A and B are shown apart, each in its own frame.
Chain A
Amino acid sequence: MALNSKGSGNEARHNVLQDRDLQALTEQDLIKAMQEISGYLDITPGDLQEVYVLAYAQAKKRILSREAREIMTWPVYASQEDQPLQEVIELLARTGVAGIPVLDSQDRVSGVISEKDLVQRMQGGGQSFMGLLSACMQSKRCPAVKIKASLARDIMSSPPITAGPDTPLHEIFDMLAENKINRVPVVDGEGGLLGVVSRDDLLQALSVLGVAKS
């Protein structure tokens, strides 16, 4: 019996777990599994397959509907718009964090500084670290000198892409994928910082689906 997994339009968008993984579960797998249980199981392999597919889709939907507040990291480091960039860099270097939200004078999230933003600025438009390294090797001056005197607001990406505390996981996944970013600040109605969902947080949350090691 062919196994068809019909997800809703929502689920079909997410490459998190290919539906072909579900299709990979054959009646033979189920029959072998049933044979490992010594008693008589009063269900046909076909019905068992149907239950499995439905239960799996249900679990996937539930996991992908978890909200930002459940998986975000808090407390998190943040910088101020008028903070010298050098201080921000030192903070990132010290903490090992790769990106940080930037707050305005009213403590609302107004931007995000990440390694990508820095690489871009130092290169004057290029995107990759390797491009930067290459330019660095070819020049006499360290490209970082260009931005040494900047403030956080000069370098940050703005306006920031943010999520709300009840934004579901699958939407955050889309945000990261479509915008090619690695973290999303979670903000309240006024733009106040509640936490950050990073790519790692997302992978951790999805690891229960067997997608990635936790």
Chain B
Amino acid sequence: MNYLQKMKGTTSSPPRVSLSEVFWSWLGSFLGIAAVALVHFRLLSGSELLLVIGSFGASAVLIYGAIKSPLAQPRNLLGGHVISAIIGVTCFQVLGGGALASALAVSLAIAAMHLSKTLHPPGGATALIAVTGGEEIYALGYLYALVPAGSGALLMLAVAVLVNNIPKRRYYPEFWI
């Protein structure tokens, strides 16, 4: 196929999931984000720490809505967020905010996730937020990788393991390591 032919697409969208799957995805993500949000708004509201970042909304899609995907597995969830956070913070600290730091943060995070087999789309968001997230984020420095990135992911993972396995035909995770 030549360069332009490739752009036409070669196959179709996979089939839609069952309504049962829709329900359990909804329930899992509701409880997962609720957990993170409750800690954030109730426990951490006076502090400089935060637990809710936009990338967790993205993680919820994967770990509650596409639980069979390799991108949704615990290794990818935790590894992806932590590695991307470290790379994002580093880019900010070296280059400050701005377009270059933003582009490098995301692209380097993707490369690092690929190499470490922890590819997780929300990781790209975590890296970007480290550069564009504002003073609250910048003030954390590398702590960002643990709170919110690592610990938020861990909390959501706990909910995922507990809720995803309730229905008979569902199981999670596919692998740990």
List the A residue with the shortest CB-CB distance to B25: A40
B21-A40 in contact (CB<8A): yes
List the A residue with the shortest CB-CB distance to B16: A35
A39-B11 in contact (CB<8A): no
Interface centre among B11, B17, B21, B169 (most CB of A within 10 A): B11
Interface status of B70 (Cβ within 8 A of chain A): yes
B67 shortest CB reach to chain A, Å: 6
CA distance A46 to B1 in the complex (A): 15
Q: Give chain B residues whose Cβ lies under 8 Å from the Cβ of A47.
A: 11
Per-residue A-contact encoding for B15-32, CB less than 8 Å = 1, 0 else = 101101100000000000
Interface status of A27 (Cβ within 8 A of chain B): yes
Residues facing A in B10-50 (CB within 8 A) are 10-15, 17-18, 20-21
B20-A38 in contact (CB<8A): yes
Interface status of B117 (Cβ within 8 A of chain A): no
Q: Which of A1, A39, A44 contacts B21 (CB 8 A)?
A: A39
A40-B17 in contact (CB<8A): yes
Bin the interface of chain A by size: 10 to 19
Interface status of B65 (Cβ within 8 A of chain A): yes
Interface status of A42 (Cβ within 8 A of chain B): yes
Number of interface residues of B (CB under 8 A): 19
Q: Which of A1, A35, A39, A45 contacts B67 (CB 8 A)?
A: A39
CA distance A27 to B15 in the complex (A): 11
B15-A34 in contact (CB<8A): yes
B72 shortest CB reach to chain A, Å: 8
Interface status of B114 (Cβ within 8 A of chain A): no
Per-residue A-contact encoding for B92-111, CB less than 8 Å = 1, 0 else = 00000000000000000000
Q: Give chain B residues whose Cβ lies under 8 Å from the Cβ of A45.
A: 11-12, 14
Q: Give chain B residues whose Cβ lies under 8 Å from the Cβ of A39.
A: 17, 21, 66-68, 169-170
Q: Give chain A residues whose Cβ lies under 8 Å from the Cβ of B169.
A: 38-39
CA distance A40 to B18 in the complex (A): 9
Residues facing A in B137-166 (CB within 8 A) are none
A38-B18 in contact (CB<8A): yes
Interface status of A145 (Cβ within 8 A of chain B): no
CA distance A97 to B169 in the complex (A): 52
B151 shortest CB reach to chain A, Å: 26
Interface status of A31 (Cβ within 8 A of chain B): yes
B117 shortest CB reach to chain A, Å: 15
CA distance A31 to B10 in the complex (A): 15
Interface status of A43 (Cβ within 8 A of chain B): yes
Write the residues of chain A forming the contact surface with B, with a CB cutoff of 8 angstroms. Answer: 1, 27, 31, 34-35, 37-47, 49
7 A-B pairs besides A41-B68, A47-B11 with CB distance below 8 A are A1-B11, A27-B12, A40-B21, A40-B69, A42-B71, A44-B14, A45-B12
